Structures are given as structure tokens and as C-alpha cells.
Amino acid sequence: MIPRSRSPSRSPSRSHSHSPFPLFVISLLFCLLVPHASFAQSKPSIQVQVDQDTVGVGDVVHMQMTVTSSEAMPSDAQPGPAPGFVVHSPSSMPSQTHFNINGNQMDRFTLTVDWPLQAQKTGTFTLGPPTVVVGNTRFAPSGGITVRVLPAGQAPRHAQPQQPGGVDPFGLGFSPFDPWKQMFPGSQPGDPLGGQPSPTISSDPRLQLDSPRGNFYFIHATVDKTTAVVGEQIILSIYEYTDESLARVAIEASDAHEPQLADFSRRSLLKDDDRGIMAGTVSIGGRLWEVVLAHRWAIFPLRAGDLTIGAMSETLARPRAVSGAVRSTETLRLHVTEPPVAGRPPGYAIGDVGHFAVETQVTPRDVEQDAAVAVHVEVAGTGNVPPTIATPARDGVEWLTPEVHEQLAPIGHDTFGGKRTFDYVVRLHRSGDVDLGDITLPFWDPQKAAYDIARSPIGVVHVRPTSTGGVPGASPSGKGAQEALPDLPAQRDILENTRTSPRTHLDDSPLPWLLGIGFWPLAFGGVVAGGAAGRRLANAWRGRRASPAAELDRRVAAARSACSGDDPRAADAATARALEAAALARGGVSIRGAVGDEVLDRLVGAGVTRESAQRLAELLRSCESARFSPTAADVAAARDRWREAQRAIRELRRA
């Protein structure tokens, strides 16, 4: 369990950073531990930064310049123009480091100068650029540093300088000169028990909430943007809200969980990530809450997609009323994409996002064949400073694995950056003037929403043939390497460019299958089946033409035709033949040649009703009588008989 006293004990943790003694110790340690970060070179490396980019009138901002040179100790550092600020006396720390690589003696001279600048009026001002003399030349970095000055008291809160007597040169967290001081609450200025003036309500919208997320104490997470590209800095802030009337809050240390950031790399933007800083006091839900910025992280997305920042959770141990209660932050979601493909420069690596500059130094520039030179590459800037760089590969030039050092830290309040240095030992196996090429670093600048390229030429190194008689231009040590991958075919210089879209294939459509493959078997099958079907059809047709029904139809048509003429005998003959055909078609019995009652018997025997049969027999008899009568027959009577016959035929059908 970690007891956390209220804000005054957690906020002023950054106060030691501006005292000159720790700065000196840190710089000294840096110079001792990182001695080979750069090598001698005519052009010095200059780094300038300020500790705050937004201050209030009367506040002091520190501008620090670090100059590294291999020629001579930098001197006569000048802060340059500082409109709106009063420049106080600077502190400077020179250091010197000596190297020996492959028998090459090298020195590095470093000068660090810190100028305290006190803001005098509001506005946005450009400081510097500061200048420094190395050798006989005065150097300056490109561009100054912009600082915004707000009215007094309106600037974001920063760690205040340590009170007199509170110096902690060893970073122990207490003063060796007064170790008992912090053990008695109320004994320090600003301690709540020591009688503090009533707090000022903050109007910072980032701290405002519609309602409290818990009683007595809760935590709240925000991000500065919800869409970004892979590698772009996103600021994740975790705020702790404590009820102002509460005397003491304690968190279960064993049950505190940081947010899940599996898809991000995380760097703290606070100098001491374990101790928050006061952000202000706000009124939420009718109560006053003291807000502490517990964490402020620069997080860098590692991949594209809809990424989630999991909730951070803490379990309260005190006050007892809410002991065991869990407080957690919101789960945040971010939409992360890759930078656009359009305009992407060759060599761009996904994740290289920010604003960078590259500097290179080579020492020496005149060596013997198979000897080595030191190449110092420094990548500096803000954002996701690349962990690796691509070195130009050349035949006969062997780049060994570099030593990498980094000085990455928050820059101002909301930017992470610094520099990474890569110290290579490069062996030169080929004699002559060897051009080592350029170091290029393409990156995506989110401020400009455009790609940019940081470039630094490494330059030419003169390689003398070995004293044992090397051949100019030869690379004897490279010979072994050349044995790998022998007999590779030649490259090609013209794109084939035959297609830009997927090729269509014959078998993608059903039509070629039908016409090309299915047609012939189908055609043969069609011929065979068609022949058989034709034969069957012909037989059926023939049979249909000889059927009694067809005969009946023909006889009916003939009778109708005959009745429309003037020959009564022909009409009666046709009517009689129609009746005979009807008997055969409908009754299934032939009455041709039958005489007298034989017609009736045949029809009844075939299943025709007696009434219908009798009627048909009478009609047939009357037709025969009229047909063979010696007197002239009447056409009208013949037509009447035909009408009767038609009715009889219809009834016969019904029967």
C-alpha cells in the first residue's frame, strides 16, 4: 500500500531540475559514460532547447545549448536576440574526452551553456539562435526557438524552483541539510496543514468533467487526438481527481494497473513519471476537486488500425468508506493509418514520424587501405526518433555494427524528442577516393502533413594503397565476400509493362466452356437424338393422319362443303359418310355395310346409348333413302338432315 498525501507532496517533484549542481553532475556523468558519441570534425554539433515553451510574465525559462566539436573547445557562447526577455548570467560547463580507435587519436570537446531568461511582456517571441566560436569560426544552429508568454499566472503550471534550503544535489528526495523537514506536515511552505490560501478554480477545459467518476477520488484519461498515423506522437494524460475536503487518499500498490498499451511505444513527458504535478482545482458536481496530472505520456502507435488504450485502474485503500473500490479511466480508441503512399520518398520506413535532422562526421578522411574510419551519425529532432538508419552500401566499404546512444527526453511540455547517435567503424577495403554516400532519413512531418527528407553527405575518404603494395581500386578483403552469389544474371532497364490489370482467361466465362468443349459432344448427341426423335415424330404423324378422329374431321368438313352446294344427293352422301365416320371415331364400331337394325345393334353393342344409336341409324337411313330416291331431292331437306346429323354426332361424342 502506498499512502499518498495530498497534492503538495506529489506535485513539486520537478523542482530540482533547474539547480545548477545536478545539471553539472548529470552532464559530467553523461560525458564520462558516453564518451564516444561523436568524433572530431570541423563542423560542430549544436543542440539548443528550452525547458518550457509557454510561460507567464515574470517566469524564467532556461535556454540550454550543447556544442560538441572535434577540433577545439567551443567558446564565447552568446544567447543571440531575446526580445521580451531579460537574460541573466549564464552557467557553462566545458568537458573534453579522448579516444583511441585503431590507433587513431581523437578528442571531443563539449560545452554546455544554460541561460536563464525572464519573460517581461506577453506575446510570442523567437529566442536566439545562440552562437558559439569553435576554432576561429562562429557557428549558429539554423533558426531560433519560439516561446509564448502569457499574462502572469495564466501559463500552464510547472515545477517551481526549490525553496531556499531545499537543495537536493544527490536526488535523494530530501534535503541532507534538513532531513527532518518533510516528516512533519505543515512545516513546509505550501503544505495544506501549514495554512494555505484558498485554491483558485481552474478554467482549463481539459480538466472539466460533466460529473465526477467516483466518490472522493477518481482517475480520468484523455488523449490530444483520436486519429494519427503510425509513429505519430499522441499525448495520453492521466489525471487524478481528489475531493478537496479529503485529508488523505491511499492506493493499493499491489492492485494498481497501468493502461494497456500493447500497440504503442510509450515515453514519459514528465521528468519524474512516479510523481505527478498539480494541474489545478476544478468544480465538478458542486464539489471542489484537486487535480493532479499523474502521468503524461507520449505514445507512438506501432501499427495501423483501430487501436485501443485500455483502462488504467487503481484500488482505493483509504478513506475507509471506499476502501476496496476500484477507480479506472476510460477506454480510449484511436484510428491509426499509415501516411499516404502518394509522394512517399524512397527509403521511408513506416513509423518515422516527426521532424528530424541528420548530421554526420568522419574521422579521419585519409587512411590506408583496409584501415577504418569512424563515422558519427546524429539524428536529432522531435517525435519518434528512428532507432535505426540505413547506411549506404558500397563495394569495398564495410560498415560494422554501430554503437547507439540516445538522449531522448521531453522537450517542453508536449513534445518528445532528442537525439540518437550512431557511431560506426567503417573499414575501407578499396583504395582511391571512396565516396561513402549520403545518410538520408525520409520522414512524415505531421505538422506540415507532408513528407520531408533529412540528408547529410558523409563525403569522400582518401584511401591510400597499403605499404605492402596494394593495387589501386582493388578490394582484396572484399574478395571473400564476392564469392557469395556468383554468376547473377544481368539487370534489366525496361519494364515489361504488358499488363496493368488481371488477365482474363478463357475458362472464366461459361461461354467458352459451352462452345469449345461442350459443343462437339452435344452436337453429336443432338444429331443422334434428333434422328431418333424425327423418326418418332414421322411415325406419330402418319398414325395421326390415319386415325378415326382425323377421318371424322375430314368427313365433317366434306359434308359441310357438300351441303353448301346445290347437289342434294352429294350432300346426303357426304352426311352419311360423316355419320359412319362418327360411329367409328366415337363409338369405336364400323357401321359401313350394315343394313336395317344391324346399325343399331352394332352401335349399342359398342356402348353407345340406345337413344343416340337409334337416332343415328334413322338419320343414316333417311340419307340413304333420299340419296337413292328416284324423285328429285330437295337441297333444303338435305341441309336439314345435315344439321340433324351434326347434332347426332355431337351427342354421340357426349355419349
Partner 1 sequence: VRVVRLPWTRRLALAAAALLLATLFSSGARAADATASGDDTAQLFAAATTELHQGRPTEAIASFEALADRGLVDPVASYDRGLAYAQRVRIGAEVPGDLGRAAHGFEEARALSSDSALVDDATRALTVVRSEVARRRIRAGQPVEVDPGRSLARAVAGLVPEDAWFFVAAAASATFGVGLFVRRVGRGRRLRVGAGVAAGVAVPVLAVSIVMTLASRHDRLYLREAVVVSPGARPSSDQGIAQPGASPLAEGARVELLDSRGGWTRVRFGSLETWLDASTLRPIVRLD
Q: Site residues (CB under 8 A) for partner 1?
A: 341-342, 344-348, 390-399, 437, 478, 481-482, 484-503, 505-508, 512, 516-524, 527-528
Give Cβ neighbours of residue 466 (< 8 Å, ≥ 6 apart): 368, 369, 370, 431
C-beta of 29 vs 523, nearer to partner 1: 523
C-beta of 185 vs 478, nearer to partner 1: 478
Q: Is 195 helix (H, G, I), strand (E, B) or coil?
A: coil
Going by the DSSP 8-state scheme, the letter that residue 619 receives in this structure is: H
Element (H, E) at 337: strand 332-337
Instruction: Give me the least distance between CB of 392 and partner 1, in Å please.
Output: 5
C-beta of 197 vs 521, nearer to partner 1: 521
Instruction: Give me the least distance between CB of 354 and partner 1, in Å please.
Output: 19
Residue with cell 528530424: 356
Instruction: Give me the least distance between CB of 525 and partner 1, in Å please.
Output: 9
Give Cβ neighbours of residue 388 (< 8 Å, ≥ 6 apart): none
C-beta of 293 vs 358, nearer to partner 1: 358
Instruction: Give me the least distance between CB of 343 and partner 1, in Å please.
Output: 9
C-beta of 287 vs 344, nearer to partner 1: 344
Instruction: Give me the least distance between CB of 422 and partner 1, in Å please.
Output: 15
C-beta of 33 vs 490, nearer to partner 1: 490
Q: At what angle do helices 568-582 and 548-563 cross, to 10 degrees?
A: 160
User: ∠ CA 126-455-449 to the nearest 5 degrees?
Assistant: 60
Separation of CA 301 from chain center: 10
C-beta of 211 vs 401, nearer to partner 1: 401
Instruction: Give me the least distance between CB of 434 and partner 1, in Å please.
Output: 12
Give Cβ neighbours of residue 322 (< 8 Å, ≥ 6 apart): 214, 215, 216, 217, 316
Instruction: Give me the least distance between CB of 391 and partner 1, in Å please.
Output: 7
Instruction: Give me the least distance between CB of 613 and partner 1, in Å please.
Output: 55
Cα 302 from Cα 127, distance rounded (Å): 35
Best CA proximity match to 75, nearest among 122, 130, 31: 130
Cα 342 from Cα 120, distance rounded (Å): 46
Instruction: Give me the least distance between CB of 346 and partner 1, in Å please.
Output: 4
Q: Is 652 helix (H, G, I), strand (E, B) or coil?
A: helix
Q: Which residues pair with 460 in a beta bridge?
A: 435
C-beta of 428 vs 620, nearer to partner 1: 428
Q: Which residues pair with 127 in a beta bridge?
A: 145
Q: How many helices (H) and strands (E) does the chain have?
A: 10, 33
Print the SS3 string covering 279-295. EEEEEECCEEEEEEEEE
CB 594 within 8 A of CB 616: no
C-beta of 53 vs 398, nearer to partner 1: 398
